[in-house]
Chain A
Amino acid sequence: MSVAKPLPHDAARLHVTGQARYVDDIPLPQGTLHLAFGVSRIARGQIKAMTLEEVKTAPGVVAVLTADDLPFANDVSPSVHDEPLLSDGPVHYMGQPLFVVAATSHRAARMAARLGNITYIEETPILTIEDALAADARFEDGPRVYEKGRVDAALTQAPHRLQGRIEMGGQEHFYLEGQAALALPQEGGDMVVQSSTQHPTEIQHKVAEALGVPMHAVRVEIRRMGGGFGGKESQGNALAVACAVVAAQSGRPCKMRYDRDDDMIITGKRHDFRIDYDVGYDAQGRILGIDFTHYTRCGWAQDLSLPVADRAMLHADNAYLLPAARITSHRLRTNMQSATAFRGFGGPQGMLGIERVMDHVAHALGRDGAEVRRINYYAAMTESADASGGGIFDPKKQPTLSTEDLASRGAVRASSGSGGSARFGGAYSAVPEDAENTTPYSMPVTDFILHEMTDQLLDTADYDRRKADLARWNAQNETLKKGIAFSPVKFGISFTLTHLNQAGALVHVYQDGSIHLNHGGTEMGQGLFQKVAQVAAARFGVNVAAVKITATDTGKVPNTSATAASSGSDLNGMAVQAACSTIRDRIAACLAELHGCSVEEVVFDGGDVRVGGVQMSFAKAVQTAYENRVSLSATGFYKTPDVAWDRIAGKGRPFFYFAYGAAVSEVVIDTRTGENRLLRVDLLHDAGASLNPALDIGQIEGGFVQGAGWLTTEELVWDDTGRLRTHAPSTYKIPACSDRPAVFNVALWNAANPARTVYRSKAVGEPPFMLGISAHLALADACSACGPHFPDLQAPATAEEVLRAVGRARG
């Protein structure tokens, strides 16, 4: 069977020969125009006057458009229509698009875009958390609060109590392929758009709005992205819409790609967070009560910030049973790029908060960090753990969302705060508050496997012995200090906006037995297409080479959700399986009738079909079905069962299941300079029954390195005028080849998912990112070795920050 095989990426051959095509590689029709944005040079204010004569007369320029020239919607927001494509007066951040230039070449457009003469009425930008709180600049009317148990009582009654704070920076996606789009005008005002996007339906929707046409007049196609990581969930809207509008007006194809600097200056990044904590615990380190306050700078527009901040709250527990917990979340509006989706979608930030608490408690008690973590774990999986058997939630009719973008994760309503009116996906049945083994949002944890995973990893990583060795080594070394840390991951899988948990597929089988596969997921390197093709091949019992993987296309599968929330193979794999099963069953019924046997006796295996005593090739079987006038084309559909979530009350079952992982990292620091290196990393990750172990391990390795990068070298710096100072790889340091640890052991925890997923696999896109937290904790451990005090290491732990933490440890 083709599933569970470590097949290479489907396009590997195309990539290594340079034939794989990205949007920027598509041959352009004659007369294509190239676009560039003219952007604001201040962070906040009003445009007083915009003189664009020089732009218009610059060489190669064909057209210059401002907000006034946009015929229909001037909006590229994935949520609440608060994001004009081009400013209509107010300026909200430095880098905001004000006008768009169309020229005969990419360079001509970019050069002309710099010639705008714009005067502003400047206002003081809101940049810091303090500024935003003082101005009450926020999204939603006040903080969201999720609560479980009696938190204040638990805190006052606890034998021990401490408070602290961790600040963590944002992160630039640095997808290696920058944002790009190409719009090709068609007859009758229709538009075809090629877009480097994780969310073709979103692009289709925004382009249709901007052109004043129904969605059926717009077709969006994407074969692959050169990396996405969440940065292409909503941030491609502006390019696609600009191209489509100019294409419609000029009748010429239009293309836009951001140069790296423009990309970093214009597009949103990971949300940075400050997390304050107040925790009560006992002498063993068991947490009795905890009060978290999250502050996040969302930038100027809402984008996907509400669900991101929600997901941070939903991961404030990580792997730990918190008997009493309150999480308060402030979503602050600041004059910066609008922070957006990034692998983990707030989960990593919430998780780093509790991991820091575990370290702080362990330090205060003088106990081992791994030990304190284990004491606080959720109880282990129970035997009736079939997660789809729950059924405690009644389906409820969806409220109408007339002003929102239904297919976007941004489609969360800015709440009334009452909790009653804005439920999505269904009402929840309240779980008793003292129920055992429930999260702070009242979801029972029934599939917890970290006890066994932790045993195995600490054993294979030789944690105890190495920890003892390190203590001896540190006692003998003054300048260099080593640190080691363990951290677990429990990550919730599903879109928290329940209705997005659906997917469609379209499968054709041709007369020669070849198979055409299409579904709503997009390929950004994660190997989704190959995994899904393996599922299709398995259904027909053929080799995966018989399956043609085709570009994602809104004309083939409509109303798709973004390829996000790690849901790609869970959702699309199931939809494809359904479509293939339909066709297979039709063929089986036809053959059964011809051969006078039952449908069950028709077997598809090894490229052949066996029916009764006869064996024929799959192609022959297909041909027979065709001749008997059997339809060989089918759609498939899937929706995740049993999820329902009230984001206002903070109660329900937002996740179908959890994915787990565990990491041990070892580092060394130079106490004079703060320089540091990762020495060894051991990872054990749960991908369920893996659909493709090689691709999954690739996700784990890449995710870890990206997560460690976020918390170590990747530092975003805005100056006090709101200018992003780190807008190129020269100043923004993502991990390089030489940064990877010398010893890097990665293993899969290969056990079937108790939830009924495709072949019992688990989602693997985001969860491993959070294994990188162990690198930060290991650095903190090394700093701790320098003195008796808590080093209070912040993130990212750049060399400068490590140096400061060493100082704090020494006191």
Chain B
Amino acid sequence: MAQVSMTVNGKTVSGEVEGRTLLAEFLREGLNLTGTHIGCDTSQCGACVVHVNGEAVKSCTMFAMEADGADVGTIEGQANADGSLNVIQQAFQDHHGLQCGFCTPGMVMSAAALLKENPKPSEAEVRTYLEGNICRCTGYHNIVKAIMAASGQDVSAIAAE
């Protein structure tokens, strides 16, 4: 067991972990931040995406100890300070970018990383970027639309509600 400490959603946290404890486990079981989901356990579905020092990371692929001292952001920390939804969250709600919602936290976190890198992505860029995020429910259409809308682009041309 070893001690780790990191900043999660702006708060300093610390805990005891084994060398093999994954960041996802630490967040979910150690900190009760269960919005980070486990969909595949093998780094393929993207349900567990969080931000580590501003980069999108699949937290089932990173050891908690690797995040020692890092600045970690999870879905629970995405809303605005006053509790209102941020622009990406709002767009997922308004454009029906979710059904069962299990992929949603990872999608929102990936989308945030994309828009930071590329504030006005094309539809094709959104789709390529989300290659590592699986959604089994929506067929992706409304997810892409939500992200386009969140980037301030007109989505009326993207057919179908």
Contact A697 B161 (CB under 8 A): yes
Q: How far is the CB of B141 from chain A (nearest CB, A)?
A: 5
B33, B38, B104, B135 — which one has the most chain A CB atoms within 10 A of its CB?
B104
Q: Taking A6-B161, A18-B75, A697-B161 as contacts, is the C-beta distance between A226 and B101 under 8 angstroms?
A: yes
Decide if A407 is an interface residue (CB 8 Å cutoff).
no
B38, B102, B105, B108 — which one has the most chain A CB atoms within 10 A of its CB?
B102
Contact B140 A705 (CB under 8 A): yes
Give per-residue flags for B12-39: 1 if the beta carbon is below 8 A from chain A beta carbons, else 0: 0000000000000000100011111111
Contact B102 A176 (CB under 8 A): yes
In chain B, positions 86-106 with a C-beta closer than 8 Å to chain A are 88-90, 92-94, 96, 98-105
Contact B74 A698 (CB under 8 A): no
Decide if A614 is an interface residue (CB 8 Å cutoff).
no
Contact B40 A706 (CB under 8 A): no
Decide if A13 is an interface residue (CB 8 Å cutoff).
yes
Decide if A570 is an interface residue (CB 8 Å cutoff).
no
Contact A730 B42 (CB under 8 A): yes
In chain B, positions 57-78 with a C-beta closer than 8 Å to chain A are 74-76, 78
A27, A173, A177, A261 — which one has the most chain B CB atoms within 10 A of its CB?
A177
Contact B93 A16 (CB under 8 A): yes
Question: In whole angstroms, how far apart are the Cα atoms of A744 and B139 in the complex?
Answer: 10
Contact B161 A694 (CB under 8 A): yes
Contact B161 A175 (CB under 8 A): no
For B42, the chain A residues whose CB sits under 8 A away are: 260-261, 728-730
Contact B161 A8 (CB under 8 A): no
Contact A704 B33 (CB under 8 A): no
Contact A694 B135 (CB under 8 A): no
Contact B93 A12 (CB under 8 A): yes
In chain A, positions 26-59 with a C-beta closer than 8 Å to chain B are 27
For B75, the chain A residues whose CB sits under 8 A away are: 16-18
- Show 9 A/B contacts (Cβ-Cβ < 8 Å), sorted by A: A13-B85, A175-B100, A176-B137, A177-B102, A226-B102, A229-B136, A695-B96, A701-B142, A728-B40
Partner of A15, one of B32, B74, B101, B133: B101
For A17, the chain B residues whose CB sits under 8 A away are: 35, 75-76, 78-79, 85, 89
Q: Taking A701-B160, A729-B40 as contacts, is the C-beta distance between A18 and B34 under 8 angstroms?
A: yes
In chain A, positions 218-239 with a C-beta closer than 8 Å to chain B are 224-229
Q: Taking A702-B139, A737-B131 as contacts, is the C-beta distance between A16 and B104 under 8 angstroms?
A: yes
Q: Which B residues form the contact surface with A (CB < 8 A)?
A: 28, 32-42, 44-45, 47, 74-76, 78-79, 85, 88-90, 92-94, 96, 98-105, 108, 126-128, 130-131, 133-144, 159-161
B89, B136, B160 — which one has the most chain A CB atoms within 10 A of its CB?
B136
Q: Taking A24-B34, A226-B37 as contacts, is the C-beta distance between A176 and B85 under 8 angstroms?
A: no
For B85, the chain A residues whose CB sits under 8 A away are: 13, 16-17
Q: Which A residues form the contact surface with B (CB < 8 A)?
A: 6, 8-9, 11-22, 24-25, 27, 173-178, 224-229, 259-261, 524-527, 693-695, 697-698, 701-706, 728-730, 734-738, 740, 743-747
Q: How far is the CB of B26 from chain A (nearest CB, A)?
A: 13
Contact B102 A22 (CB under 8 A): yes
Q: A18-B78, A694-B96, A740-B127 are in contact. List 11 more A-B contacts (CB 8 A).
A: A11-B101, A12-B92, A15-B92, A15-B105, A16-B108, A174-B136, A176-B137, A226-B100, A705-B139, A729-B45, A737-B133
Question: In whole angstroms, how far apart are the Cα atoms of A527 and B101 in the complex?
Answer: 11
Contact B159 A176 (CB under 8 A): no
For A745, the chain B residues whose CB sits under 8 A away are: 159-160
Contact A527 B99 (CB under 8 A): yes
Partner of B35, one of A18, A526, A693, A740: A18
Contact B139 A701 (CB under 8 A): yes
For A228, the chain B residues whose CB sits under 8 A away are: 100
Q: When A and B form their complex, which 5 residue pairs have the shortest distance between CB atoms, in order from nearest?
A: A18-B35, A525-B100, A226-B102, A15-B101, A705-B139
Partner of A176, one of B41, B103, B139: B103
For B126, the chain A residues whose CB sits under 8 A away are: 737
For B104, the chain A residues whose CB sits under 8 A away are: 15-16
Question: In whole angstroms, how far apart are the Cα atoms of A228 and B100 in the complex?
Answer: 9
Closest partner residue, chain A, to B22 (CB atom): A107
Question: In whole angstroms, how far apart are the Cα atoms of A193 and B94 in the complex?
Answer: 34
For A693, the chain B residues whose CB sits under 8 A away are: 161
Question: In whole angstroms, how far apart are the Cα atoms of A12 and B111 in the complex?
Answer: 17
Contact B94 A698 (CB under 8 A): no
Partner of A9, one of B40, B47, B98: B98
Partner of A177, one of B33, B100, B130, B144: B100
Partner of A740, one of B32, B141, B161: B141
Q: Taking A16-B98, A738-B131, A745-B160 as contacts, is the C-beta distance between A27 and B32 under 8 angstroms?
A: yes
Question: In whole angstroms, how far apart are the Cα atoms of A453 and B93 in the complex?
Answer: 31
For A697, the chain B residues whose CB sits under 8 A away are: 96, 160-161
Question: In whole angstroms, how far apart are the Cα atoms of A227 and B138 in the complex?
Answer: 11
Question: In whole angstroms, how far apart are the Cα atoms of A224 and B99 in the complex?
Answer: 11
Question: In whole angstroms, how far apart are the Cα atoms of A530 and B53 in the complex?
Answer: 38
Q: Taking A9-B96, A17-B89, A745-B160 as contacts, is the C-beta distance between A736 and B131 under 8 angstroms?
A: yes
Contact A176 B45 (CB under 8 A): yes
Question: In whole angstroms, how far apart are the Cα atoms of A735 and B140 in the complex?
Answer: 9
Q: Taking A9-B98, A17-B76, A526-B99 as contacts, is the C-beta distance between A737 and B34 under 8 angstroms?
A: no
Contact B93 A8 (CB under 8 A): yes
For B44, the chain A residues whose CB sits under 8 A away are: 728-730
For A9, the chain B residues whose CB sits under 8 A away are: 96, 98-99, 101
Question: In whole angstroms, how far apart are the Cα atoms of A16 and B80 in the complex?
Answer: 12
Contact B135 A20 (CB under 8 A): no
Question: In whole angstroms, how far apart are the Cα atoms of A412 and B140 in the complex?
Answer: 38
Contact A740 B100 (CB under 8 A): no
Contact B76 A227 (CB under 8 A): no
Closest partner residue, chain A, to B36 (CB atom): A18
Question: In whole angstroms, how far apart are the Cα atoms of A9 and B93 in the complex?
Answer: 8
For A6, the chain B residues whose CB sits under 8 A away are: 96, 161
Contact A524 B131 (CB under 8 A): no
Partner of A737, one of B45, B105, B140: B140
Q: How far is the CB of B20 from chain A (nearest CB, A)?
A: 8
For B79, the chain A residues whose CB sits under 8 A away are: 17
For A735, the chain B residues whose CB sits under 8 A away are: 139-140
Contact B93 A740 (CB under 8 A): no
Q: How far is the CB of A573 from chain B (nearest CB, A)?
A: 18
Question: In whole angstroms, how far apart are the Cα atoms of A227 and B36 in the complex?
Answer: 16
Closest partner residue, chain A, to B141 (CB atom): A701
For B93, the chain A residues whose CB sits under 8 A away are: 8, 12-13, 16
Q: How far is the CB of B105 from chain A (nearest CB, A)?
A: 5
Q: Taking A17-B76, A226-B101, A729-B44 as contacts, is the C-beta distance between A737 and B161 under 8 angstroms?
A: no
For A702, the chain B residues whose CB sits under 8 A away are: 99, 136-139
